[in-house]
Amino acid sequence: MNIKITGTGSYIPEDIEKNEDFYNHEFLNADGSTINSSNEVIVKKFKAITGIEERRYLKPGLLNSDMAFYAAKKAIADAKIDKETLDYIIIAHNYGDIKHDAQQSDTVPSVASRVKHLLKIKNPRCVGYDLLFGCPGWVEGVIQANAFIKSGIAKRCLVIGSETLSRVIDKHDRDSMIYSDGAGAVIVEESNDEGGIMCHDSATFALEEAHYIYFGETNKPEDSSQRRYIKMYGRKIYEFALTNVPLALKACLEKSGHSINEVKKILIHQANEKMDEAIVNRFYKLHNMEVPEGIMPMSINTLGNSSVATVPTLYDLILKGQIENQEINTGDLIIFASVGAGMNINAIVYKH
């Protein structure tokens, strides 16, 4: 049995937040002290490290579930399937639906139930549930869909990664410039075509690493609100990712039985340009090779880090010809990979 992605869709929010838009922010250190650099210098250093020039924010009147719905509609149309034949709707996110300027997230009902409602699916045997797995959530959702189909309890699944990180960022934290919003969706199903999911691998490192990404207070001491924001220990994450992700990629590829010379693309979570480049460089060094040109498509420079949405949106944009000088052809061996809160790592070797 071959299990393949037969349709893709994405939703890229319209509102663009450029790096220059942060010039008037009051950035502070984690202890609330003043940063001894101008915002222009802060932003310039940020761009050099992350590669981000701009990012997308969801319009105030829309919710995370709306984005997920829009991406899902496109994936269903792309796969040319009847939505009533879906067995599972798996939605990866981290913060549920958060209204613009709200202090509380809303996860009841689940985002999956909301999307099923918006899709107007009548079939009660189409089961919807949410998946909390940090940034690797969409990849893990595909892994779960694969398991459902292999076991015989499902034939067709809709897997979505959707997030509105712009609604959980602390405007006094320099790291807030990293985050963005977006949604990507795929249909995963049995197929008579060659290829599909060759193998996968997942891991959770939680002994020392569980709280590298967490919910914390604003950097501004005078703010007495109870609101919490996404926070991270950037240096620890960088070192963790560089140590563990290349090894995970190598282990997954070896499990697949394929050679690194066969890999055409690596679609890695768009977390930080320099970190992603370092991960892939180290992966190829493990094979005593240089990184082939064009092996790692990037979207972070214009779309930022939208967590669970980065990998599926990147995949969809490449397939739709919207990433310059990048394409994926029938029979190409690609690797999906991600690292994020938990700390979780996963990878899929996939033949398109």
Domains and CATH numbers, the chain: 2-193 (3.40.47.10), 198-351 (3.40.47.10)
From start to end of the chain, where are the E strands?
2-11, 15-18, 54-57, 88-92, 127-131, 156-164, 181-191, 196-204, 213-216, 229-232, 263-268, 333-340, 344-351
Give the C-alpha distances (Å, rounded to integers) separating 130 from 156, 213, 225. Answer: 17, 20, 29
DSSP 202: E
Give per-residue pLDDT as tens, 31-83: 888 888 889 999 999 999 999 999 999 999 999 999 999 999 999 999 999 99
Give per-residue pLDDT as tens, 300-341: 999 999 999 999 999 999 999 999 899 999 999 999 999 999
Least confident of 86-90, 100-104, 141-145, 293-297: 100-104
What's the CA gap between 71 and 61, in Å, rounded? 17
What's the CA gap between 324 and 177, in Å, rounded? 24
Mean pLDDT across 86-99: 96
Q: Which pair of tokens denotes residue 200?
A: 């996968």
Side-chain half-sphere CA neighbours of 230 within 13 A: 26
3-state secondary structure 75-142: HHHHHCCCHHHCCEEEEECCCCECCCCCCCCECCCCHHHHHHHHHCCCCCCCEEEEECCCCCHHHHHH
On whether the CB atoms of residues 90 and 145 are closer than 8 A, the answer is: yes
Give per-residue pLDDT as tens, 153-186: 999 999 999 999 999 999 999 999 999 999 999 9
Amino acid 23: pLDDT: 92
Give the angle 9-166-91 at the CA atoms, nearest 5°.
Answer: 40
Enter the pTM of the model. Answer: 0.94
